[in-house]
Amino acid sequence: MPVTVVSFTRIGGESVLLLSTTVWAIITAVTPLLTKFDWNPLASMMIARFLMGLSQGVHYPSLASLCSQRVVEGKKGLLMSTMGSGSYLGTMMSGSLGSLMLEHYGWESVFYGTGLLAGLWSLAVWRYLLKGEVISVLGLSNHASSSSSLSNLRWLSLLKQPSVCAMVTTHMCYCSAFYTLISWLPTYFKDTFPHAKGWVYNVIPWFVSIPSAQFGGWLSDFLIMQGYGTAAVRKMMQFISMGVSSVFILILCIPVKFPSAVTLISVAMGLATFNSSGVVVNVQDLAPSCAGALFGFMNMCGAFTGLILVYLSGYLIEVTTSWVPVFSIITLVNVVGIAVFLMFGDAQRVDLEKTRRITHI
């Protein structure tokens, strides 16, 4: 974690964002070439995927760091939701255009095309966010250097705060449930509706998620600007994301027809995007001085628990030959996460007192 902290606070979120997008653009574009290496294609692919995960792992934390430093209260929900919509749009394009490219031009074309798009995005970051200049470590603003004092010394002590623990726990539950849902959905539809067209259930839920995320971000910012408490708004958005969406997931435990299944999944995934204006923004409310590093820690925990739950769900499917345990455990995890956040979640900044205390040591 100290490496992550240094990268956000000393190098700057802009430079980290540029570096990460450039690295994964290059790796994606050269992936087909790595498979043709004579010495050890498997080893080269493993190294490439490791570097890919490393570069993508700092993407959202760097965005959180930039948002906490540059965006005023009442505007963060829509911005984070908009950025989250980009991933839904990319997934939808991969499931539709990627499938066509795969069919007509071969699997290599998918990597070349994706790498090209990532490279263009990297160029846009350099041109419009950094204005053609890479921020130097020695050329930091006073804000960045002062905000790094907490992060470099004792930012882990924030985890002792109940509101921070609740935020991290809820994010872990959300990631676990969401990763499990999207990982097993194609298998669910293929097993339950073997004659259904794959592009329908691979595209429609993500298509619904884009406007839903935008609406959730707008709604959260609107309520805050109208005078509603930030903590109450964050809890309401997270309740919709994990609580209300679980109702539609739980309905899948009973036999339904294909159109109903697609509708239920689409609504559930659409409501789940409200997380972008809930816990995702809450990290900027609680600890804006180290929002990027703390968000990176949250994502790391969420990825780990998500891996475990995806594996457990696969085991339950194999043993029970039923999808009821999977949808039930997703609902249970969501209920636990939202209950913790409703009881202990808050939006009051908790790093100010610790920053003062550290500067006097």
> What are the pLDDT digits (tens) for 230-264?
999 999 999 999 999 999 999 999 999 999 999 99
| pLDDT band at residue 38 under the 50/70/90 scheme | low
| pLDDT band at residue 155 under the 50/70/90 scheme | low
CA–CA distance from 170 to each of 288, 325, 336 (Å)?
19, 21, 8
Q: In 10 A of CB 192, how many CB atoms?
A: 14
* pLDDT for 346 beyond 60: yes
pLDDT score at 248: 96
Element (H, E) at 189: helix 162-192
pLDDT score at 60: 72
Which position has the higher pLDDT, 8 or 215? 215
pLDDT score at 269: 93
DSSP 159: G
Residue 28 near residue 52 (C-beta atoms within 8 A) = yes
The rounded distance, in Å, linking the Cα atoms of 254 and 122 is 46
Mean pLDDT is lowest, of 100-104, 212-216, 247-251, 338-342, for 100-104
Q: Does domain 2-134+155-359 have CATH number 3.20.20.140?
A: no
* pLDDT for 87 beyond 60: yes
Indicate the average pLDDT of the chain: 80
The rounded distance, in Å, linking the Cα atoms of 269 and 246 is 10
DSSP 97: H
- Report which listed range, 103-107, 171-175, 289-293, is most confident: 171-175
* pLDDT for 54 beyond 80: no
| pLDDT band at residue 164 under the 50/70/90 scheme | very high
pLDDT score at 130: 65
User: Which structure tokens are listed for 202?
Assistant: 């691979």
Task: Tell me the whole-structure pTM to 2 decimals.
Answer: 0.78
User: Which structure tokens are listed for 308?
Assistant: 């475990």
| pLDDT band at residue 141 under the 50/70/90 scheme | very low
| pLDDT band at residue 97 under the 50/70/90 scheme | confident
Taking only the tens place, the pLDDT of each residue in 294-318 is: 888 888 888 889 989 999 999 999 9
Show me where the domains of the chain are located.
2-134+155-359
User: Which structure tokens are listed for 361?
Assistant: 């040591």
Give percent of the chain above pLDDT 70.
82
Which position has the higher pLDDT, 60 or 287? 287
* pLDDT for 103 beyond 80: no
